[in-house]
Structure 1
Amino acid sequence: MLDTSNPNHYHFTARHLEITVLGGVRLNKLDSLRVTLSINKTDSSEKLRHNIDLYNNNQVEKLVRKVAERLETGTSITRRALQELTDRLETHRLKELEALDSEPMARELTPTELRAAEAFLKKKDLLARTNELIGQSGVIGEHTNRLLMYIIFTSRKSNNPLHCISLGSSGVGKTHLQSKVGELIPETDIVDMTVLSENAFYYFNRTELRNKLILIEDLDGAEAALYPLRELQSKRSITKRVSHKDRNGNTKTIKLTVEGPVSVAGCTTQESIYEDNSNRSFLLYIDESEAQDERIMQYQRAVSAGQANEQEQLKAAELLRNVQMLLRPIKVINPYAMHLALPKSVFKPRRTNAHYLQFIEAITFYKQMQREKRYDKATGEEYIETEIEDIQEANELITEVLLRKSDILNGACRQFFELLKAYLKANGESTFTNAEIRRALRIHPSNQKRYMLQLGQAGLVRKAKGNKRNGYLYEVVSYDEYQNTQTKIRRLLDDIVTRLQGKRDVVVQSSP
């Protein structure tokens, strides 16, 4: 009998012999079975310890002779015991590998849970109700970001998954927001990672990541793995060839392939370093305002005082997870896509346009139970169609994203500039010094120097007077440039919806 209850200390009992496998067995390198054995006779305490590859016949024969000599047992008895041990260990290892390879089974919804999830998905104002439930589950503030993130996470089940990166300074709650919204997705659909090596993605099973949500706590700790991650996002599969020795010692090249599609979310404080990844993702800037600080601290006080309704939070999170389990893959067609346009001010419009269209599809996908199922006349494929209200809701959520994509400043510099303008307006000042702003906004000198350089290059701040010896007074060139861009984007998106409503009948009739 082979007892594997202790993973580091297997015990095997044979006729006349007791064998202990110290340290268990390795689950990789299936072409060998290297173990450390402790062998003794059942009626004796004398032990023989030996490290051996049980697949190596020469080593096994040498051990048989050594055991027979040392423990005074017959070679046939020892050989039979080692052969039986090898068979048992081999079977045990294969079962362990099968258990690792098999994906965890998603639990089935009870009839009551099924009815509740269906009823919720069919309700009017689904996105608003979803956002309200996200808040009830314990996500404080971040009203736009949390719904954006939930829709992006939902897109993992579609043919065109979206990705997001949460940006903000240290300690503002980037990882907390991502993990809290991640809790609203079934655990079987999530691959959670803290640290990634360069080759980590290549060693997943071929379909193990398909339609999964990959959550990376800190992109700063995953820099080596960012290239294969980008390829997985763009090409939906990655391939690598590695050398491998078979049991005969011959070197062969094997092909490792991992398939997507996947939805990827990560957090970082360094926007510029990850430009290639950020171009593939929605950039979600964390709310660092004093009002948000107060909301979070008030919630922390309520939890500490026992006034937070934990049962309500668990109930809201459970309903949203059940809703996710009810969604099924289905093709989405946007009959209004040819009439949509992006603001001219958006940088990298090709990729941003793809994100915009995919986000509209993701909203339609989430509302699949409110859409009539249609069938392609040529192929018979089932699909649903985007409606104007989906585009309107997408426009409301994506305005800030498009605004950031149109901004010549990065997120950290833009935040500094808006705080600077607010400070000058509140104090009725038109000029300022670096020292004054450092004290007022509590900005680190090196960060302020970098922000001021960027603002000067963008022509948004200039020197008003002063010299290098005595210092300079600076002034803001434009106070309304950001708001003007925001107004233009919102007006354009509103005009698009208005035009679509006028063309509704024509567009619907021309759909496949």
Structure 2
Amino acid sequence: MKTEEYHVEGPVMIFLTTTAVDIDEELLNRCLVLTVDESREQTKAIHHLQREAETFEGLKRKVERERILAVHRNAQRLLKPLPVVNPFAKKLTFLSDRTRTRRDHVKYLTLIRTIALLHQHQRPLKERDGLQYIEVTLEDLAAANALAHEVLGLSLDELPPQTRRLLGMLEEWVDAQCGKREMERSDFFFSRRRLREVFGWGDTQLKVHLARLVDMEYLLVHRNSDQWQGYVYELLYAGEGEDGSRFLTGLLDLDSLKHGYDAKRSGSGRPPVGGWSPTGHPSEIPLQASQKGPSGLNGHRSGENAQEGENRKAS
């Protein structure tokens, strides 16, 4: 073991990787947060490339990769450090409901400036008061907004990437099961054991992500009245954010600039999740008339407070 010293002239950029579900808030608002696709399909694709790397085709692909990288690096060397002026800057909008967006707003503006600089050879070089510069175009703004939804929208999301992935999987699976059983989503409950069988996730992994979804009111916890022990979950999330796609609210609608209208916001945030439903349904079984007691569902008190179920944690 020995100490290595690096002397770097700023600005300094860092690249970190972690398997932690939660990221320190002080680090989170200083970095762009990306995530790795952990789906089974992606793992199969990686295995395919790893096997192909041992073949002649894999050798040719490695040589081609080095050639493409050399082209990209040479293209970057052709870029000049030109100033970038954004004529639309005063009309742009951004989320302002949290203090941390002060840094995220700078990330967004820097993203726009970077895209314009990358296309400097496709932009006319302008000069004013002895200063040369290039200007941001609507195409640059459109590209920046698309990337902001994918990157900044992810970092501003209230859910970690893996938790949101589980939420999307849950919504798709619950919709399919309810359609097959011809029942309402509010009547469909599922256990953690059932999710382990369906998704193939580990119990500890599921416990962490389900607890977060309960805390953020995407799921509601009920006692398992069918077995009188344990807990079951009800999905409250209704697919906001275009079926779970990444999104960043508060960005300017570019159509308003193209048509000369006043600037307006592109969205007002995620709508509230669904309302509370009665407790006491059996897990993954639609209620039958014979199961309802005289004083409420399955003999439970009809006035039972549904908020109680929210505060319970899955065992």
Instruction: Return the letter of the residue paired with 1:283.
Output: V
Note the alpha carbon deviations across 1:112-133, whole angstroms, 9 max, x for none. xxxxxxxxxxxxxxxxxxxxxx
Secondary structure at the residue paired with 1:304?
Answer: coil
**Structure 1 residues 445-456: aligned runs within 5 Å:** 445-456=203-214
CA distance in 2, matches of 1:342, 1:405: 14
Q: Does 1:262 align with 2:19?
A: no
Q: Which has the higher strand share?
A: 1
User: 2:234 matched to which residue of 1?
Assistant: 475
Q: CA deviation at 1:262?
A: 2.3
Contact 1:346 1:402 in 2 (8 A): no
CA distance in 2, matches of 1:342, 1:391: 13
Contact 1:345 1:406 in 2 (8 A): no
CA distance in 2, matches of 1:196, 1:450: 38
Q: CA deviation at 1:406?
A: 4.3
Instruction: Return the letter of the residue paired with 1:417.
Output: L
CA distance in 2, matches of 1:332, 1:196: 43
Between stretches 473-482 and 350-359, larger displacement belongs to: 473-482
Q: CA deviation at 1:316?
A: 1.0
Counterpart selection for 2:199 from 432, 438, 441: 441
Q: Does 1:388 align with 2:138?
A: yes
Q: Does 1:462 align with 2:212?
A: no
**Structure 1 residues 393-412: aligned runs within 5 Å:** 393-412=143-162
Q: Does 1:331 align with 2:83?
A: yes
CA distance in 1, matches of 2:34, 2:160: 12
CA distance in 1, matches of 2:208, 2:46: 30
**Structure 1 residues 135-284: aligned runs within 5 Å:** 204-205=6-7, 209-210=8-9, 260-270=10-20, 272-284=22-34
Q: CA deviation at 1:444?
A: 2.7
Secondary structure at the residue paired with 1:281?
Answer: coil
Instruction: Return the letter of the residue paired with 2:126.
Output: R
Q: Does 1:417 align with 2:196?
A: no
CA distance in 1, matches of 2:91, 2:2: 42
CA distance in 1, matches of 2:203, 2:189: 19
Secondary structure at the residue paired with 2:104?
Answer: helix
> Which is greater in Rg?
1
Which ranges in structure 2 are unaligned for 5 or more consecutive residues?
182-187, 262-315
Counterpart selection for 2:47 from 270, 294, 297: 297
User: 1:179 matched to which residue of 2?
Assistant: none
User: 1:496 matched to which residue of 2?
Assistant: 253
Distance 1:465 1:482, change over 3 A: farther
Note the alpha carbon deviations across 1:223-277, whole angstroms, 9 max, x for none. xxxxxxxxxxxxxxxxxxxxxxxxxxxxxxxxxxxxx112322222225243212
Contact 2:138 2:254 in 1 (8 A): yes
Distance 1:381 1:285, change over 3 A: same
CA distance in 2, matches of 1:455, 1:196: 44
Q: CA deviation at 1:363?
A: 0.6
Note the alpha carbon deviations across 1:54-112, whole angstroms, 9 max, x for none. xxxxxxxxxxxxxxxxxxxxxxxxxxxxxxxxxxxxxxxxxxxxxxxxxxxxxxxxxxx
Aligned residue pairs: how many?
250
Instruction: Return the letter of the residue paired with 1:335.
Output: P
Note the alpha carbon deviations across 1:348-387, whole angstroms, 9 max, x for none. 322221111110111111112122222341xx33322111
Distance 1:346 1:438, change over 3 A: farther
Which ranges in structure 1 are unaligned for 5 or more consecutive residues?
1-194, 211-259, 505-512
Q: CA deviation at 1:453?
A: 1.8
Q: CA deviation at 1:440?
A: 2.5
Q: CA deviation at 1:319?
A: 0.4
Instruction: Return the letter of the residue paired with 1:497.
Output: L
Note the alpha carbon deviations across 1:371-421, whole angstroms, 9 max, x for none. 2222341xx333221111011111122212243244222222212222223
Contact 2:189 2:234 in 1 (8 A): yes
**Identical-pair percentage:** 26
Q: Does 1:340 align with 2:92?
A: yes
Taking only aligned residues, the RMSD between alpha carbons, in angstroms, comes to 3.0
CA distance in 2, matches of 1:416, 1:359: 29
Runs of 4+ in 1 over 6 A off after TM superposition: 344-347
CA distance in 2, matches of 1:331, 1:366: 12
CA distance in 2, matches of 1:394, 1:440: 38
CA distance in 2, matches of 1:196, 1:469: 60
Contact 2:87 2:136 in 1 (8 A): yes
Contact 1:332 1:385 in 2 (8 A): yes
CA distance in 2, matches of 1:417, 1:482: 12
User: 2:304 matched to which residue of 1?
Assistant: none
TM-score, normalization by structure 2: 0.69
Note the alpha carbon deviations across 1:327-357, whole angstroms, 9 max, x for none. 2222212111111112567883222211111
Q: CA deviation at 1:458?
A: 1.0
Between 1 and 2, higher relative CO (CA 8 Å, sep ≥ 6) is seen in 2
Note the alpha carbon deviations across 1:438-464, whole angstroms, 9 max, x for none. 232233322322222211111111124
Instruction: Return the letter of the residue paired with 1:262.
Output: V
